[in-house]
Each structure stands twice: as structure tokens, then as C-alpha cells.
Amino acid sequence: MVSLSGINAWTLDRSADLSAELSARGVPLSLLFAPRVAGADQPKAVLSWVRERRAAGSALLQHGYDHVADPRTRIRRRAEFASLPAHEAKLRLTASAATMERLAIETDAFAPPRWVASPGTLLALRHKGFTLCADLLGVRDLRTDTIYRGRVQGFGVGERTEPWWCFALVMGAARAARKGQLVRLAVDTADLARSGPRQALLDAVDIALHHGATAVTYQGLVRTAATEAA
């Protein structure tokens, strides 16, 4: 599974480029969409592109609600849903649902910012009708509480360590695919601005496919597993 976050008007070209590269490999994207960040103040082109990608086979996961840096201090906030009790998580999910409704985009899948969701958030997601939550260590079917284990692999921060992260991404994807494990690759549009991470992601996809991995979205994974279980 390949997920893409950071989709907005300034990164739409990078998003489209990655989507085309993956489509050529038969790999659908899972789009992580933060309604207040990605949609509320963006041109219609962003929303149109998201809808077009969904129609073409991409999946959509709600990526929190408002997890940008504080505009007054520029300091990045704590992961938005990492420690919220259930009632506070419900308030944020209610606000995000209203925004998603205005944007005419729906999804019942959730990926918390930085992939961390508190127990209260999981309760709130079930209350709001979400069917899956993808966190750092796996993908949770909220209807059955089944967890499909597999750690997210992505890029760290820092130019000096970038070559290490690129190497680790490719090797980690190869190792997981050889063992028949879940391969979860995550990239932000900011990473795609640099040639190293962009190529490393494509190399990780290619080597996973070489070792027999089957391309799937987050919703596709849960749907397929549920069908096989039935």
C-alpha cells in the first residue's frame, strides 16, 4: 500500500506525477486528506483531482482535521489525535465531517496525523461510523477490531540522514515483501520535491512487486480480508 499526504494546490503537480508513475505499475494510491488543511481554502482543482483519482481506483482516508503548525509561533503541534479523550475526539470528528460534507467528499477510513490515535479516538471513530483506522503499527478494522499488522515505512527529517532513510525504505520494503508481510509505504508531497526520496519510493514499490507483493489500497485490504474470512 502506498499513501500520499500533503495534497494541496501547491503540490498538485507532484501528486499527479506520482499517481501517474504508480498507475503505470498497477499500484493504486491511498490519499490522506486533511479537510481543513487540504480542502477548505484550496482551489476547485484540488478537489476535482481527488475525485478523479477516486473514480480511477484510488482510496481516500481522512487524515485528521487541522494538524498544521500554530500560525503564531510556527511550532508544529503535537500529533492531533494522539492523546485526545473520546469526547474531544468526537468534537474534532464532528467538525471535520461538516467540512467534508461542504466539500462533497466522503470516506469511512481514517489515518491520524503522524499515524498515532489514542484509545479515545478509536472509540470516537466507531461512534462516528468509521470502518477502519490506519495507525503506525497496523490497519484496524473498527467493525471487528481485527488488526492487520504492518509498520508504516516513510522518510525521516534531515538532509544528512536522507540517504539512510532512502536506503532503509527500499530495504525494508524488500524484506517485508519477501516474508509475505504487509508493505506500507508513506510519502508526503514535500518529500517528492527531492529526487532522492521520490526515486527511493518508486524503487521500494518496484522491489516489493518483484518479490510478489499485491498492490492494494487500505480499504481494499480490509475488504479483501473480510471476504476471505467469510
Enumerate the domain spans of the chain: 2-155+214-229
pLDDT in tens, 64-116: 987 654 433 344 457 899 999 999 999 999 999 988 888 888 999 999 999 99
Compute the C-alpha angle 147/150/153, nearest 5°: 140
pTM of the model: 0.90
Helix (H), strand (E) at residue 177: helix 162-178
Residues with Cβ < 8 Å from 185, sequence gap 6 or more? 1, 2, 3, 153, 154, 169, 173, 201, 204, 205, 208
With a cut of 80, say whether residue 43 has pLDDT above it. Answer: no
Give the whole-angstrom CA distance, residue 26 versus residue 23. Answer: 5
* 31-45, 151-165, 210-224: least confidently modelled range: 31-45
Q: Do the bridges between strand 184-188 and strand 152-153 make them parallel or antiparallel, or are there none, so unpaired? A: parallel
State which CATH number among 3.20.20.370, 3.90.1410.10, 3.40.50.300, 3.40.630.10 fits the domain covering 2-155+214-229: 3.20.20.370
Q: Which three cell numbers stand for residue 27?
A: 499500484
Q: Do the bridges between strand 132-134 and strand 138-141 make them parallel or antiparallel, or are there none, so unpaired? A: antiparallel
| Residue 42's pLDDT band (cuts 50, 70, 90) | low
Q: Do the bridges between strand 184-188 and strand 2-5 make them parallel or antiparallel, or are there none, so unpaired? A: parallel
